[in-house]
């Protein structure tokens, strides 16, 4: 279905090609998962299939990509729209209508399909994706999982034979991610759709893949069976890391497969407990909310939230899409005024404090890092951050290099990948070293190596006395990093306590290692490795 013949892509002013020597075939009716470190060319490879590379993004394409017999060099994206459907990371950015039904029909209208055909296909897609009850809903009123299903449906109505997805679950809670992945399974198994998907959160998707395509900067691409590729991949989910540590063969790709092998490992760990996390205790809180309620228009977004954030403590804020996590972060930086109750940060009321003063108390890295980035280059952004924070020249640039090495000074922020933009925004906020640091989905677009560097930096900040609150759907990040986990539902706190206690008791938010080694207290591969070494 998809054939790459010695494909290379090089962008102007780039020292190295984004892709080099890709020569492989993806069969029809299979789910092929792209894995690899940030910057290895995953998004570029997806773009060559849809025709966005080079017709839209620019660059020089060598070799040939054919999809269903069509050469993407000779067919622009519009001429491939009936064959290839593309869904990006942010569905709202791609919606062009206001309601679910209109969005499902839009692609067919663009292709000039007859009205009776459009009506039939809309109904079929509503049923296929479980969207019939939402047909008249406004798109901006849907949850993240619902929006992603609508985005997939909007390309399915034109009956593409190939579906290209770039991190489709990156902004979704675990339940919503399962919704989307179940839809993709139905497309592959029932309709024979070929799905090509890039995803950093491998723990969610690798068990569903028929094949895995591994891209690394310094080696030729590798296409093969998931377990075989994962055995040699520099990026892999925790369940694979646990299997490597325990010496299991073949390597498990799912929690179910790992549990079947785990009895001897559980016996070795019996009677041992993870080392306690380092944290400060007893210090006065840096931020306090008292019965905080916030309304977003007519909707109550937060209701009676009591929360204290202490120096040296890392808190994970979790919950379904739409639970109120981003609203709570926004309230702590003064973006939302309380409708009742109160919020205090560093002794100040955020929505009544000048931004120039508040930046010394609290910093927010938003879910969309573009909200913070206005410079014409990475160097310009870093220089402005140093000036705003009163920091020594080069402070911000050093943070960028530490988090994600290799980003060029002259690169425009809009030309960075999602993960690279997030890294730059995080460095901009960290330059001011605020006592309270807020992060909204900080691992969206980050590979495992970049995530490990982020964990190291946040642990260092906590050790220096900073308080960190991160809103995340990444259960593995919470397990690795957070001292405490707070779960929001419908704007209310429904759980608050030590991470090990909160996440292990929740099937939706438990990390892979906890599921495999239950009922033991283990959350991460690192904890297990340390216990076995001891």
Residues 300-335 pLDDT 10s: 999 999 999 999 999 999 998 888 998 999 999 999
Average of per-residue pLDDT across 340-363: 91
Residue 330's pLDDT is what? 93
Tell me: the pLDDT tens digits for 430-464? 888 899 999 998 887 777 887 888 888 889 889 98
Q: Give the integer Cα–Cα distance in Å for 447 and 35.
A: 9
Read off the pLDDT of each residue in 415-428 and give the average, rounded to a whole number: 81
User: Is the pLDDT higher at 20 or at 212?
Assistant: 212
Quote the CA–CA distance of 220 and 116 in Å, as a whole number.
Answer: 48
CATH code for the domain defined by 2-236: 3.40.50.300
| pLDDT score for 252 | 94
CA Rg, the chain, in Å?
23
Q: What pLDDT, on a 0 to 100 scale, did the predictor assign at position 258?
A: 95
Q: Which of residues 1 and 247 earns the better pLDDT score? A: 247
At residue 388, does pLDDT exceed 90? no
On average, the pLDDT of the chain sits at 89
Q: Are 420 and 404 in contact (CB under 8 A)?
A: yes
Q: What is the rounded distance in angstroms from the CA atom of residue 266 to the CA atom of residue 246? A: 11
Answer whether residue 38 shows pLDDT above 80: no
* Average confidence (pLDDT) over 475-483: 93
CATH 3.40.50.300 fits 287-361+434-533, yes or no: yes
Average pLDDT on 233-254 reads: 93
| pLDDT at position 214 over 90 | yes
pLDDT band at 281 (very low <50, low <70, confident <90, very high): low
Q: What is the model's pLDDT at position 390?
A: 84
In angstroms, the CA 111 to CA 468 distance is 49
Residue 257 confidence (pLDDT)? 94
pLDDT at 395: 92
Task: Average the pLDDT over 177-201 and give the result.
Answer: 89
pTM score, two decimals? Answer: 0.85
**Residues 494-506: tens digit of each pLDDT:** 999 999 999 888 8
**Beta carbons within 8 Å of 321's beta carbon, 6+ residues apart:** 143, 144, 145, 171, 172, 173, 176, 473
d(CA 222, CA 534): 37
| Residue ranges per structural domain of the chain | 2-236, 287-361+434-533
Residue 282 pLDDT exceeds 80: no
Mean pLDDT of 372-397: 90
User: With contact defined as beta carbons under 8 Å apart, do 54 and 11 qualify?
Assistant: no
Rounded to the nearest 5°, which phi and psi values hold at 131?
A: -110, 5
Could you tell me the pLDDT band of residue 268, with boundaries at 50, 70 and 90?
Answer: very high
**In this predicted structure, what is the pLDDT of residue 511?**
93
Same fold, 2-236 and 287-361+434-533: yes
Q: Is the predicted pLDDT of residue 89 greater than 80, yes or no?
A: no
* Per-residue tokens: 230: 């994962």
pLDDT of residue 483: 94
224 phi and psi angles, rounded to 5 deg: -175, -170
Strands (E), 192-239: 194-198, 211-216, 219-224
Q: What is the pLDDT of residue 34?
A: 94
On the question of pLDDT at 280 being above 80, the answer is no
Question: 113 or 534: whose pLDDT is higher?
Answer: 113
């Amino acid at each position: 279905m998809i054939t790459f013949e010695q494909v290379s892509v090089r962008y102007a002013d780039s020292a190295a090609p984004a892709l080099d020597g890709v020569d492989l075939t993806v069969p029809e009716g299979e789910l092929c998962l792209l894995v690899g470190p940030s910057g290895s060319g995953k998004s570029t490879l997806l773009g060559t299939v849809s025709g966005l590379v080079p017709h839209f993004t620019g660059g020089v394409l060598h070799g040939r990509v054919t999809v269903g017999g069509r050469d993407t060099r000779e067919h622009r994206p519009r001429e491939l729209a009936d064959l290839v459907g593309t869904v990006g990371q942010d569905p709202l950015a791609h919606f062009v209508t206001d309601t679910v039904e209109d969005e499902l029909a839009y692609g067919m209208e663009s292709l000039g399909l007859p009205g009776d055909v459009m009506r039939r296909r809309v109904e079929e897609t509503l049923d296929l994706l479980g969207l019939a009850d939402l047909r008249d809903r406004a798109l901006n009123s849907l949850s993240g999982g619902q929006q992603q299903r609508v985005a997939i449906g909007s390309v399915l109505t034109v009956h593409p034979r190939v579906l290209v997805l770039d991190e489709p679950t990156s902004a979704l809670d675990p339940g919503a991610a399962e919704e989307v992945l179940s839809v993709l399974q139905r497309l592959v198994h029932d309709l024979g759709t070929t799905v090509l998907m890039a995803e950093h959160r491998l723990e969610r998707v690798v068990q569903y893949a028929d094949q895995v395509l591994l891209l690394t900067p310094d080696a030729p691409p590798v296409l093969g069976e998931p377990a075989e590729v994962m055995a040699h991949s520099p990026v892999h989910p925790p369940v694979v890391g646990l299997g490597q540590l325990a010496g299991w063969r073949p390597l498990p790709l799912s929690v179910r497969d790992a549990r079947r092998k785990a009895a001897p490992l559980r016996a070795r760990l019996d009677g041992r407990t993870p080392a306690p996390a380092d944290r400060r205790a007893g210090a006065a809180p840096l931020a306090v909310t008292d019965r905080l309620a916030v309304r977003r228009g007519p909707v109550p977004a937060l209701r009676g939230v009591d929360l204290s954030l202490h120096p040296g403590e890392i808190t994970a804020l979790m919950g379904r899409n739409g639970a109120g996590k981003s609203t709570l972060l926004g309230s702590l930086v003064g973006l939302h005024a309380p409708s009742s109750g109160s919020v205090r940060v560093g002794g100040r009321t955020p929505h009544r404090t000048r931004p120039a003063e508040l930046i010394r108390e609290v910093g927010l890295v938003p879910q969309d890092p573009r909200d913070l980035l206005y410079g014409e280059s990475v160097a310009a952004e870093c220089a402005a951050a140093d000036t705003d924070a009163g920091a020594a020249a080069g402070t911000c640039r050093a943070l960028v290099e530490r988090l994600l090495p290799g980003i060029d000074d002259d690169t425009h922020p809009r030309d960075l990948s999602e993960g690279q933009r997030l890294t730059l925004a995080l460095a901009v906020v960290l330059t001011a070293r605020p006592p309270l640091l807020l992060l909204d989905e900080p691992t969206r677009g980050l590979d495992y190596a970049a995530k490990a560097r982020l964990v190291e930096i946040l642990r260092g900040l906590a050790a220096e006395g900073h308080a960190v609150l991160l809103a995340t759907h990444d259960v593995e990040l919470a397990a690795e990093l957070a001292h405490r986990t707070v779960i929001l539902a419908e704007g209310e706190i429904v759980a608050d306590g030590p991470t090990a206690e909160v996440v292990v008791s929740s099937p939706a938010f438990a990390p892979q290692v906890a599921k495999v080694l239950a009922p033991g207290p283990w959350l991460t591969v690192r904890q297990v490795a340390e216990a076995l070494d001891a």
